[in-house]
Amino acid sequence: MAIVLAAGQGKRMKSKLYKVLHPVCGKPMVSHVLDAVKEAQSERTVVIVGHGAELVKSRLGDAAEFALQEKQLGTGHAVQQAEALLGQEDGVTIVICGDTPLVQASTLRSMLELHEASGAAATIMSASFDNPAGYGRIIRGEDGTVQRIVEHKDCSAEELLVREINTGTYCFDNRKLFQALSRVTNQNAQGEYYLTDVIGLLKEAGEVVQGYCTEDIAEAIGVNDRVALAEAERHMRERLNRKHLLNGVSIIDPANTYIEASVQIGADTVIYPGTVLRGATVIGEDCVIGPSSELTNAVVHNGATIKYSVVTDSEIGEVSSVGPYAYLRPGSKLGRGCKIGDFVELKNAQLDDGAKVSHLSYVGDAKVGKDVNIGCGAITVNYDGFNKSVTEIGDGAFIGSNVNLIAPVKVGDGAYVVAGTTVTKDVPEGDMAIARERQVNKPGYAEKIRARAKAKKERAGQ
């Protein structure tokens, strides 16, 4: 069994968002914790919710059972809210805080194993911190055994020097946990019912209590403010980047590459610095991403290249190239071997295999056929101030530079739209469309204009 504490508001975050929902590498802290707990054990898991209960529940979905702590009277009181659901069970219960996002399933499992093998009533995960400020301290007796935990605010001068801290993760004998909790009081510096007092009470009752010290200090980080949040983010980022590196992804500068927890990347893909990969982004093999690109919920197929670009809710086909400086807005879909060049914006545009939009274009609400070439500066005029309309361009069509396609409009297969044309009606398959003023040349006129300008300047100078 497991109990995850997630009812606090997190005042020290100074945020409108409830603490446990703050993301670390794109995923709420409490989801990191819950995932680790679920991976470590397959029994019932209860999340204690309070502040933002509905929002926390909706983010976690049906991954857990929930118990409501109406008033946040402390971590001990929070655990008590699970008594109605778990109080009658025999066995071991993991209790963990929703603000320790770096705890790993493997660590929880070895802690569980130690706990079960030793027959202790409680096992505390501890860590040794150079700067233990803010954390509860583990107080050991002369024989080295854990006696109790003292919260930072309740520490004596001597206790403040203790560097072994309580990570807030424990294994308990379930029955003994709830029995001891009923005896916890709120006589302390914060006037709260501390879960940590259970340790002293169990010890006094002659039970065995032990510490399990984590090697990886990052796992012990409890996020109470944004300083700790940034630190947790850095550790998580390093961990995720390392996972991708070991999976065969090249990351040129991991310290400058930001990959969220949910992102998948295939082997032999190279990620250049300044790249941010977010949400449900999935990248295939042999791609080159970055430098300086931001991909959110993007699907990128094998061998594609994206440089200095922003891609959101879009799909990029095999061996296609995007950028530099392209902007793919939601609903853009490129087939195989497409080219989107510099300063091109796409929105809700589907481009079939081999289509090219090489420079300075806007293509929105459009269906573009195979091997279509859209020239420099050509745009779809998809919005008349009231409605959005669709542009369709058939396979093999050629759209010249600086063409305006006033939607709704269709350009047929193989049609040819001459540069500078404003297309206002459909162009049939195979036709050429031209709509622009005929040019008039006036022989020798350039010299006349210059002479006239010069004379004017001289008159003004007198």
Encoded tokens for 369? 């056929």
Question: Which one of 1, 165, 287, 399 is in contact with ligand UD1 (CB under 6 A)?
Answer: 165
**Residue 264 in the binding site for ligand UD1 (CB under 6 A):** no
Check if the beta carbon of residue 405 is closer than 8 Å to that of residue 380.
yes
Binding mask 165-204 for Ca ion (x = CB under 5 A): ----------------------------------------
Question: Which one of 34, 53, 64, 99 is in contact with Ca ion (CB under 5 A)?
Answer: 99
Question: Which one of 135, 172, 212, 362 is in contact with ligand UD1 (CB under 6 A)?
Answer: 135
In angstroms, what is the minimal distance from the CB of 73 to ligand UD1? Answer: 5
Which residues partner with 351 through β-bridges? 334, 368
- Sign of the alpha-carbon dihedral angle for 269, 273, 275, 276: positive
The string over 185-211, giving b where at least 16 C-beta atoms fall within 10 Å of a residue's C-beta and e elsewhere, is eeebeeebbbbbbbbbbbbeeebebbb
Strand 164-173 versus strand 92-97 pairing type: antiparallel
Q: Which is nearer to ligand UD1, 41 or 186 (CB)?
A: 186
- Contact region with ligand UD1 (CB under 6 A), list: 91-99, 116-124, 269-277, 288-296: 91-99
**Residue 77 in the binding site for ligand UD1 (CB under 6 A):** yes
Strand 356-359 versus strand 373-374 pairing type: parallel
Task: Write the CA distances from 237 to 106, 226, 240, 282, integer angstroms.
Answer: 18, 16, 5, 17
Q: Which is nearer to Ca ion, 15 or 224 (CB)?
A: 224
In angstroms, what is the minimal distance from the CB of 127 to ligand UD1? Answer: 9
Check if 359 is active-site: yes
Q: Which is nearer to Ca ion, 188 or 224 (CB)?
A: 224
Residue 146 binds which entry of ligand UD1, Ca ion, none, CB below 5-8 Å type-dependent: none
In angstroms, what is the minimal distance from the CB of 49 to ligand UD1? Answer: 8
In 135-240, the DSSP E strands lie at 137-140, 146-150, 164-173, 209-213
Question: Which one of 1, 2, 3, 7 is in contact with ligand UD1 (CB under 6 A)?
Answer: 7
- Contact region with ligand UD1 (CB under 6 A), list: 94-102, 104-112, 279-287, 453-461: 94-102
Near ligand UD1 in 178-207, by CB under 6 A: 194-196
Q: Which is nearer to Ca ion, 224 or 358 (CB)?
A: 224
- How many Cα neighbours within 13 Å face the side chain of 385? 0
**Residue 211 in the binding site for Ca ion (CB under 5 A):** no
Q: How many angstroms separate the CA atoms of 368 and 5, rounded?
A: 52
Q: Return the residue matching tokens 């622009």.
A: 436
Q: How many angstroms separate the CA atoms of 164 and 131, rounded?
A: 10
Check if the beta carbon of residue 60 is closer than 8 Å to that of residue 54.
no
**Residue 166 in the binding site for ligand UD1 (CB under 6 A):** yes
**Residue 222 in the binding site for ligand UD1 (CB under 6 A):** yes
Q: Which of 382, 416, 423 is nearest to 396 (CA)?
A: 416
**Residue 74 in the binding site for ligand UD1 (CB under 6 A):** yes
Check if the beta carbon of residue 360 is closer than 8 Å to that of residue 342.
yes
- Contact region with Ca ion (CB under 5 A), list: 27-35, 222-230, 288-296, 363-371: 222-230
Task: Write the CA distances from 412 to 357, 381, 394, 426, integer angstroms.
Answer: 18, 18, 5, 8
What are the residues whose beta carbons fall under 8 Å from the beta carbon of 400, sequence distance 6 or more? Answer: 375, 378, 416, 417, 418, 419, 420, 421
Q: Which is nearer to ligand UD1, 44 or 329 (CB)?
A: 44
Q: Which is nearer to ligand UD1, 196 or 281 (CB)?
A: 196
Position closest to Ca ion via CB: 222
Near ligand UD1 in 24-43, by CB under 6 A: none
Q: How many angstroms separate the CA atoms of 181 and 183, rounded?
A: 5
**Residue 151 in the binding site for ligand UD1 (CB under 6 A):** yes
Q: Which is nearer to Ca ion, 224 or 292 (CB)?
A: 224
Q: Which is nearer to ligand UD1, 136 or 375 (CB)?
A: 136
Task: Indicate which residues carry an active-site annotation.
Answer: 359
Q: Which residues bind ligand UD1 (CB under 6 A)?
A: 5-8, 20, 48, 50, 69, 72-75, 77-78, 97-100, 135-136, 149, 151, 165-168, 194-196, 222, 224
Give me the residues that bind Ca ion (CB under 5 A), please: 99, 222, 224
